[in-house]
Amino acid sequence: MTTTDAPGLVERVVDSLARLTALGETITDEWTYVHDLETVWVARLRAVAVAVAPRLAESPLSPAALRELETAVDRLVAEADLVTDPHRAIDWLSTLPQATLVALGEAAW
């Protein structure tokens, strides 16, 4: 990861959110809620990624810190990918983005 590759890092999370959405939408009564969560969080994460990239370019993290950030996000995605219960998937549709925002140094909300 480069100092400006926050968008690429966030896209890993977006891909994981798509997988969680596919699992969560199997609960028919929650279909709209699940897709609303995905829509809102993907937009927020992408906006933050665009905002973070210039900050990282101006004040770059050390190579070690960048590796730690990348590892943290990869671990979050790996944990989300362990979810097999649709109800837990719905929970993770908020948990994963919030944890990602914290890892990027942003307010979760």
Quote the pLDDT of residue 3.
Answer: 46
Quote the pLDDT of residue 62.
Answer: 79
Nearest to residue 6, comparing CAs of 47, 52, 65? 52
Looking at residue 58, its amino acid is: E
7-61 residue pLDDT tens: 888 999 999 999 999 999 999 999 999 999 999 999 999 999 998 877 777 766 7
3-class DSSP assignment, residue 49: helix
Whether 45 contacts 100, CB under 8 Å:
yes
What distance in Å separates the CA atoms of residue 99 and residue 76, rounded to the nearest whole number? 8
Looking at residue 18, its amino acid is: A
